Amino acid sequence: MKRQLYFWGLFLVLFTGLSAAQPITFSRTYQDTLNWPSISNDVLELNSSFYCLSISPSANASYSMLLNVNNEGEINQRNFIPRNANAQLRGGATMEKASDGNFYTLVAERLVSNPSINNLNLCKYSTSLDTIWNLQNSDSTSQDFAGSMIVNLNYVYCSGYRRIPNTNPSKFRGIILISDENGNQSRFNEYNIDDISHGFNTIASGLNNTYYLGGLRYDSLYHGLVVKTDSLGNMLWHRWYPELWGANINSLSDSTYLLTSWTPDGYGSMLTKINGNGDVIWQRTYSYGTALALYTSIQTFDSGIVSVGITGVSDANGDDAYIQKVDAAGNLLWQKSFNGVASGVDFFSSVIETSDGGLLINGSTNEGLAGGQNLWLVKLDSMGCLEPNCWVGVEQAEANTLGVAVYPNPASDWLYLKYDNTHKITLEIFNLSGQRVLHHQHMAPKEGIEISQLPAGLYLLRFVDEMGNVATEKIIVE
């Protein structure tokens, strides 16, 4: 009976696979017409199309580029916002949706009158890429750098950090800019926490109109920092996290918060879940290739967490763009790297979950185009596949990269691993829908795992050794 159910189940999977809509996937690079390098920063979805922001910190001139593309990555509209040679863009840049269907951008821009000074620049744009208003904080003595922003209760909250070059150029302080949705600045707060250098890269909303600022402190070493504020930006408390190299913060659906960071040695990355008081709920460390840096994370509709960043895979390939997904407890589901060209520097800087269930990533790649790095948009399905169903359609040869053999195949009750190297193997089993159904860490050679509880069908096995090397294999459960 189990075998009969398997064949009926396989027929239904194939039938529904033909009829169900798959997310559109693509990988496109956008070379600007001015042949300047373009560092990508953020992306969002509006009106069934995608908007992204990139900046060019060129030595001779700077600009920001707004790009609107359709769901296949083809350009609908592009708008270059040139800057004077003495008004270069600095620091980060980010985007957020406005409540009226338009959107905001936040950058740090040098002053034309004083090139050693830069301020936060908050702009509101229409979906046709026209400027609605532009707000720049007017301090003429400091260097301000942009972090991120959120929109809540008709206000825009922008995080960042500040340096005072004439009085104490080696010290940084966190800042927050609060504006209403008409471009009127309501508050600008500068923080002095323990008289130690610190800054805010990210901001997240909390309960009862409170806010959480995530960043880092520096006192000969870098550490994670979280600050909780009220609606006016007044600090309620702060927490240091010495085990983290910085802390980018996101709100989770269960009123907890996620910190994305690097390990202190710089070779791995960490995800840390905290409660509203800043207490650690769980903490996980991840590795890939020779080094891994996670820049940002989002929570997906299934309560999983997708993170993007950069990884060093090998000297031949240079730095590659990286994406991973974990479950709600931080257990790794899958991880992948993407390479533009050999020896180029490629990275992913932001990610969103799209309305069709896919993932859209904003990144930069050096593909040998004029200007060096260029804006890179990559649209993947929910399993991180550029080619749909890549987990199911894995070639048998990939399993040989680790020399792992599984037996028996087909299997019914127990499954065993056989391999020759001395590394422990982590095994994950996925069904045809891409759901992880089993996870077993640190399996030894010839160790068995019971699979009698699995329904009959075709499954994908994924092996990861202690060095981060990955191999896959397909099996049939009867």
Tens digits of residue pLDDT in 152-198:
989 999 999 998 766 666 789 999 999 999 999 999 999 999 989 99
Q: Of 154-158, 313-317, 365-369, which range is least confident?
A: 313-317
In one-letter notation, the amino acid at residue 209 is N
* Rounded average pLDDT over 116-140: 88
Give me the sheet containing 347-353, strands edge to edge: 26-30, 374-380, 359-365, 347-353
Q: Of 7-16, 51-60, 236-245, 404-413, which range is least confident?
A: 7-16
Q: For 365, how many CA atoms within 13 A lie in the half-sphere containing its CB? A: 24
Band of residue 410 on the pLDDT scale cut at 50, 70, 90: confident
Tens digits of residue pLDDT in 203-261:
999 999 999 999 999 888 889 999 999 999 999 999 999 999 999 999 999 999 999 99
Q: Of 33-47, 123-137, 304-318, which range is least confident?
A: 33-47
Residue 41, token pair as written in the block: 């920063």
Nearest to 159 by CA among 187, 139, 181: 187
**Ranges of each domain in the chain:** 2-16+394-477, 24-380
Predicted confidence (pLDDT) at residue 436 exceeds the cutoff of 80: no
Predicted confidence (pLDDT) at residue 90 exceeds the cutoff of 60: no
Give me the residue label for tokens 């003495």. 86
User: Residues 301, 327: contact at Cβ < 8 Å?
Assistant: no
Q: Chain-wide mean pLDDT for the chain?
A: 82
Q: What is the pLDDT of residue 207?
A: 95
Tell the CATH superfamily of the 24-380 domain.
Answer: YVTN repeat-like/Quinoprotein amine dehydrogenase (2.130.10.10)
Predicted confidence (pLDDT) at residue 144 exceeds the cutoff of 50: yes
The DSSP bridge partners found for residue 360 are 352, 379
Q: With respect to CATH, is domain 2-16+394-477 assigned 2.60.40.3080?
A: yes
Taking the complete model, does pTM exceed 0.85, yes or no?
A: no
HEC secondary structure over 337-367: EECCCCCCECEEEEEEECCCCCEEEEEEECC
Residue 39, token pair as written in the block: 């560092």
Count H helices, E strands: the chain? 1, 35
More confident residue, 12 or 442: 442
Tens digits of residue pLDDT in 98-112:
999 999 999 888 776
Band of residue 433 on the pLDDT scale cut at 50, 70, 90: low
Predicted confidence (pLDDT) at residue 146 exceeds the cutoff of 80: yes
**Residue count of the chain:** 478
Most confident of 192-201, 277-286, 419-428: 277-286
Q: What is the pLDDT of residue 426?
A: 83
Predicted confidence (pLDDT) at residue 121 exceeds the cutoff of 50: yes
Predicted confidence (pLDDT) at residue 455 exceeds the cutoff of 50: yes
Q: What is the pLDDT of residue 64?
A: 78
Torsion of CA 305, 311, 314, 316, to 10 degrees: 120
Tens digits of residue pLDDT in 40-49:
678 999 988 9
